[in-house]
């Protein structure tokens, strides 16, 4: 700024707003350097863009497929100290989706109120996320082709959030109706015997990669998810069990998703909340937890601002709770899908089941329509 008399004039050759990102409030940026060729070691690197530092772990983690101006790049390395990601051009028919863990802790409670089926609250929170791996998904069919792991540090986001939790009597009512899938699996009294029988039948070897048991016993996996059966005897039949090493078991579990009502609830709220706020879907974050620490261990869903310190979304949603719940109920009830789709509670995973009926049952409890 240059002062001339009582007035100030901007003298730089760039408009000041050019340094303000419309996508993120984070001041740190990660430069994206693309190689001229895929494999040559002495290749030249060219800056093709940048992302905010908060988004870098899930957008440009190592081995991620990054799309830029219609071209695909594989991330060769991500240096969070130098704020640089190095990309190599590739031609592939798949994309990657990050897998991350999230935890939420309370900083200061600003308000709470009893609502139908539970309690609503809002306040200052600390959201800690860590990208732990990624899924490889076919571009056209969305079929899961594989997965990988990454080693990145966790990132903290002090922000504001709105959350609600279900009362114990609400959960018990859903459980009695067979519409609650968030309890830990109890594999029944015959599980130990069936597990040992499956391992012996399979020769104590992983049936996916062939690795033998060594110091640690292999896991035994349910081919059809345990929660889809009415009782443990049917679920634990030997033809539904297979021996897998820990690594293969983890990959198998990732591909078999049984969407719970709580997860479906978070999905539909995540679709409608931005409309109520007149905001972009990426401006808010979601976290569903059957034992939410913010709610004293009760099942709950958190919607938080994706901007450090928050920008007021949580207080608005706190006031819009009843309307948000009712509109969510109408959306799920009116959707013509059988058991979940991207337009309501989200699709069921491969070999799994959706959670539409469970989600609708929760929404009816919250709306007082039951």
87 located within any domain: yes
pLDDT tens profile 107-151:
999 999 999 999 999 999 999 998 988 888 888 876 778 878 888
Cross-strand bridge partners of residue 301: 164, 288
24, 88: one domain: yes
Q: State the pLDDT confidence band at 62, using cuts at 50, 70 and 90.
A: very high
Residues 160 and 199 in one domain: no
Do 140 and 263 share a domain, yes or no? yes
351 has a pLDDT exceeding 60: no
Q: Clarify whether residues 251 and 112 are in a common domain.
A: no
Same domain, 321 and 213: no
pLDDT confidence of residue 22: 53
Position 334 scores a pLDDT of: 93
- Residue 256's pLDDT band (cuts 50, 70, 90): low
pLDDT digit string, tens, across residues 286-338:
998 888 988 888 999 999 998 888 889 999 999 999 999 999 999 999 999 88
- Shared domain check, 204 and 58: no
pLDDT of the residue at 233: 93
Are 350 and 257 in contact, with CB atoms under 8 Å apart?
Answer: yes
- 7 domain residue, yes or no: no
Q: Which residues contact 90 (CB under 8 A, 6 or more apart)?
A: 38, 65, 72, 73, 74
Same domain? For 164 and 121 the reply is yes
Domain match, 247 and 264 both: no
**Higher-scoring residue by pLDDT: 4, 328:** 328
Q: Check whether 67 has a pLDDT greater than 60.
A: yes
Question: ∠ CA(264), CA(270), CA(276), 5° rounding?
Answer: 135
Give the integer Cα–Cα distance in Å for 355 and 15: 50
Question: Which pLDDT tens digit goes with each residue over 145-181?
Answer: 887 888 899 989 999 999 999 999 999 999 888 888 7
Query: 204: Cβ–Cβ under 8 A, 6 or more apart, which residues?
Result: 212, 213, 218, 243
Tell whether 118 and 162 lie within a shared domain: yes
Domain boundary among 232, 255, 278: 255
Q: What is the pLDDT of residues 206-234, one digit of tens each?
A: 898 788 998 889 999 998 888 778 889 99
Residues 170 and 122 in one domain: yes
Confidence at 202, pLDDT banded by 50, 70, 90: very high
pLDDT at site 44: 77
Model pLDDT, residue 348: 65
């Amino acid at each position: 700024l240059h002062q001339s008399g009582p007035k100030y004039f901007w003298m730089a050759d760039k408009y000041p707003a050019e340094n303000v990102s419309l996508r993120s409030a984070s001041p740190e940026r990660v430069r994206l350097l693309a190689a001229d060729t895929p494999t040559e070691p002495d290749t030249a690197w060219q800056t093709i863009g940048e992302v905010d530092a908060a988004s870098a772990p899930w957008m440009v983690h190592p081995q991620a497929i990054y799309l830029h101006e219609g071209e695909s790049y594989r991330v060769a390395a991500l240096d969070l100290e130098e704020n640089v990601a190095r990309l190599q051009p590739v031609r592939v028919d798949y994309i990657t989706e990050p897998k991350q863990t999230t935890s939420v802790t309370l900083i200061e409670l600003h308000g709470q109120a009893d609502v139908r089926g539970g309690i609503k609250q809002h306040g200052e929170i600390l959201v800690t996320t860590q990208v732990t791996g990624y899924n490889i998904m076919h571009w056209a069919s969305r079929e899961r082709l594989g997965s990988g792991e990454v080693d990145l540090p966790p990132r903290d986001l002090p922000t504001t959030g709105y959350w609600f939790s279900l009362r114990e009597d609400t959960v018990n009512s859903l459980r009695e109706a067979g519409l609650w899938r968030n309890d830990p699996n109890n594999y029944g009294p015959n599980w130990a015997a069936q597990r040992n029988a499956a391992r012996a039948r399979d020769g104590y070897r992983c049936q996916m990669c062939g690795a033998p048991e060594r110091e640690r016993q292999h896991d035994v996996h349910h081919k059809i998810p345990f929660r889809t059966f009415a009782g443990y005897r049917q679920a634990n039949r030997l033809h539904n069990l297979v021996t897998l090493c820990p690594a293969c078991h983890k990959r198998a579990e990732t591909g078999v998703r049984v969407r719970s009502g709580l997860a479906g609830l978070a999905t539909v709220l995540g679709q409608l909340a931005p409309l109520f706020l007149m905001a972009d879907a990426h401006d808010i974050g979601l976290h569903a937890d059957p034992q939410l620490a913010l709610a004293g261990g009760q099942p709950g869903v958190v919607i938080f601002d994706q901007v450090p310190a928050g920008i007021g979304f949580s207080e608005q949603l706190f006031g819009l709770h009843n309307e948000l719940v009712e509109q969510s109920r109408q959306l799920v009830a009116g959707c013509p899908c059988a058991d979940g789709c991207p337009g309501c509670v989200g699709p069921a995973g491969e070999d799994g089941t959706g959670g539409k009926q469970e989600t609708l049952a929760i929404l009816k409890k919250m709306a007082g329509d039951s």
